[in-house]
Amino acid sequence: MTTSSHHSAPEGARANPLPARRSRGTKVRRQRVKAAWLFLAPMLVALTLVAGWPLFRTFFLSFTDASLSDLGAANFIGFENYLVQENGRWFGIMADPTWWQSVWNTVYFSVVSVSLEVIFGVIVALILNAEFKGRTIVRAAVLIPWAIPTIVSAQMWAWMLNDQFGIINHMLMGIGVIDNPIAWTASATYSMWAVIMVDVWKTIPFVALLVLAALQMLPKDCYEAAEVDGIHPVRVFFKVTLPLITPALLVAVIFRLLDALRVFDVIYVLTSNSTSTMSMSVYARQQLVEFQDVGYGSAASTLLFLIIALATVAYLYVGRKQLQLGGDA
Amino acid sequence: MTARQLSKIAKRVGFWALIVLIMVYAVFPFYYAVITSLKPSSDLFRVELWPSTWDLSNYAQILTQASFLRAIFNSIVVAVSVVFIALLLGITASYALGRVRFRGRSTVLLVILGVSMFPQVAVLSGLFEVIRTLNLYNNPAGLILSYTIFTLPFTVWVLTTFMKQLPMELEEAAIMDGATPWVTITKVFLPLMWPAMATTGLLAFIAAWNEFLFALTFTLTDAQRTVPVAIALLSGGSAYELPWGPIMAASVIVTVPLVVLVIIFQRRIVSGLTAGAVKG
């Protein structure tokens, strides 16, 4: 998108002053490239300070026995935080059942809540894409859960899910679904569902808005054609709409998945450090801050980082393949 | 009435029922928090959809708590500073990334994208060390510093997208007039970038206002906490009895400004979110 597309000046008019322009052009160009790096420098310094260096230090600390009270007095202990055999028994994170429980919890939470968010997000987006009176109001209302801080939404739901006085137990008992109140946030069976419920409520808007943006860019004519041919709307959705919004869905899913794999706030507030809902982030922070074991906690953080990096690469690989397959259609 | 008309009516009813369902689902938890916060403590444990008695005692209680007021103040300071820093660094960086072609540009963009996908816990111990070395532990300034990890990549990413869309002619004219890149940014681009900056600034504000993990880990005393930590740690006389009334009042106080902002700026927020995501 340069000016040449606008100015259709004859080539000859430009040919003459070209050498002069080129030398001037390179000088301006060099100045611009220099300025570009100068302008990037503050951001790069900031990111190194808060992201690059700390990440490197976390890797490093995971091979030491550092403790929170005295980070300086750390000894290098190799892979002992990860896995070590002593007197015929295995120790370290890889041998800790609580860690594997938290890995499983995180994966379970991520898969279930992201799936639910995508399904409901698409439904909400389809509704918002229809034209009806008061659409703006509905769209604003749908955005509200997204705007509420995670901590606050966790507290609101904790109150609604309160076992004795919560409105949800009250309503479920009122319509006869359950006979006795459920201890939503305390019981091992239900607490994960409570967490998923809160997360799904909070993030449907995000998915819905991304999908809605994709829906609004779809061409109108193929829908008109489908209507003329009398094809059922559900069939139109699966044959026309879904393939067309797949790229947007893939983007929404990766954003949500990365977010879900590092979940912390909602679980910490709703169920605190209970093992039945503990995520990898909660586990790592508990080791790091509450048990003051920086070496061990850093090892857990490092594993979490590797798992997320792997998941991202795998997802991008699969997603790209699918996009290439679908893109030709 | 024909069957065709009947099914048409049924469809309309179903459609509107779905809309009402979505509205109730989205709004009800917030509504319930509001009415809980307006109940006197004696009525708190009676489940009802409309309070029989109205009462502002929960608000009086929370707003006379010095630590809560202090937390609001800290949150405002942190969020505003984070927005300012993110926009300042973001606009200069996005000029470089959006307008200038140079070697290493795509590498820088990839690094930025990578940082935005970081799990926060992965840098927790390293960042703790940095903050302690800089003597910023238990200090809102430490939070301002650490929040750039998630606000900056996003800001740069979205602003770069907007920057790319500005017409080339503007910049060429500026260069012809002998303007330096700095003058080009401040005099030519900045006036055009206000909408994009408002969007990203708003999103950065919300992200900083809501952040919990760093705020919980890098502060220690009530006087240095931010609002999310203060609300999460509100506790009553005994460990078994949470002060739900004041918790809900505090929740409403910190949420109402955000909800108002979101409703006013919903178009901007939507465009910012989609610009950030769709380009990824």
A52 lies in the same domain as A114:
no
> Is A88 inside a domain boundary?
no
Per-residue pLDDT at A133 exceeds 80: yes
Q: Give CA–CA dist A279/A261, Å, rounded.
A: 8
Per-residue pLDDT at A281 exceeds 90: yes
Q: Check: CB of residue B118 under 8 Å from CB of residue A55.
A: yes
Q: What is the pLDDT of residue A246?
A: 87
In this structure, of A37-51, A104-118, A126-140, the range with the lowest mean pLDDT score is: A126-140
A178 lies in the same domain as A49:
no
Domain around A114: 99-327
A103 lies in the same domain as A211:
yes
> Is A71 inside a domain boundary?
no
Q: Check: CB of residue A157 under 8 Å from CB of residue A194.
A: yes
A156 lies in the same domain as A289:
yes
| Residue in A closest to B210 by C-alpha | A149
B120 closest CA partner among A282, A268, A69: A282
A49 lies in the same domain as A134:
no
Per-residue pLDDT at A163 exceeds 90: no
Is A209 close to B270, i.e. CB distance below 8 A? Answer: yes
DSSP for B185-231, please give it: IIIIIHHHHHHHHHHHHHHHHHHHHH--HHHHHH--SGGG--HHHHH
Q: Check: CB of residue B151 under 8 Å from CB of residue B208.
A: yes
Instruction: Please tell me which of A4-13, B68-77, B187-196 the model is most confident about, judged by mean pLDDT.
Output: B68-77
Residues of B in contact with A31 (CB under 8 A): 180-181
Q: What confidence category does residue A24 fall into, taking pLDDT thresholds of 50, 70 and 90?
A: low
Instruction: Chain A: give the shortest CA distance to residue B263, in Å.
Output: 6
Q: What is the CATH number of the domain that holds A243?
A: 1.10.3720.10
CATH 1.10.3720.10 fits B66-278, yes or no: yes
Of A325 and B174, which is predicted with more confidence? B174
* A186 has a chain B CB within 8 A of its CB: no
A147 lies in the same domain as A230:
yes
> Is A76 inside a domain boundary?
no
Question: pLDDT for A73-94, tens place per residue?
Answer: 778 888 888 988 888 888 888 8
* B227 has a chain A CB within 8 A of its CB: yes
Q: Give CA–CA dist A226/A240, Å, rounded.
A: 9
Q: Check: CB of residue B218 under 8 Å from CB of residue B120.
A: no
Q: What is the pLDDT of residue A152?
A: 92
Per-residue pLDDT at B271 exceeds 90: no
> Is A232 inside a domain boundary?
yes
A5, A27, A37, A39: best to mutate for the B interface, most B CBs within 10 A: A39
- % chain A with pLDDT above 90: 34
Instruction: Chain B: give the shortest CA distance to residue A87, in Å.
Output: 31
Touching B: A residues 253-312, CB under 8 Å: 254-255, 258, 261-262, 264-265, 268-269, 280-281, 284-285, 288-289, 294, 297-298, 301-302, 304-305, 308, 312
Mean pLDDT (chain A) is 84
A260 lies in the same domain as A208:
yes
* A54 has a chain B CB within 8 A of its CB: yes
A170 lies in the same domain as A314:
yes
Q: What is the pLDDT of residue A49?
A: 92
- Considering its fold, how many domains does chain A have in total? 2
Give this prediction's pTM.
0.87
Question: Position of tokens 């808007």?
Answer: A205
Per-residue pLDDT at A201 exceeds 60: yes
Residues of A in contact with B278 (CB under 8 A): 210, 213-214, 248, 251
Q: What is the pLDDT of residue A125?
A: 92
Residues of B in contact with A201 (CB under 8 A): 25, 29
A34 lies in the same domain as A178:
no
A28 lies in the same domain as A111:
no
Instruction: Chain B: give the shortest CA distance to residue A95, in Å.
Output: 20
* A315 has a chain B CB within 8 A of its CB: no
> Is A33 inside a domain boundary?
yes
A121 lies in the same domain as A196:
yes
Question: pLDDT for A228-252, tens place per residue?
Answer: 888 888 888 888 888 888 888 888 8
Question: pLDDT for B122-157, tens place per residue?
Answer: 999 999 999 999 999 999 999 999 999 989 998 998
Question: pLDDT for A169-188, tens place per residue?
Answer: 888 988 888 888 888 888 88
Per-residue pLDDT at B1 exceeds 80: no
| Residue in A closest to B91 by C-alpha | A39
Q: What is the pLDDT of residue A324?
A: 59
Q: Give CA–CA dist B255/B261, Å, rounded.
A: 10
Domain locations in chain B as residue ranges: 3-55, 66-278
A215 lies in the same domain as A282:
yes
> Is A290 inside a domain boundary?
yes
Is B19 close to A138, i.e. CB distance below 8 A? Answer: yes
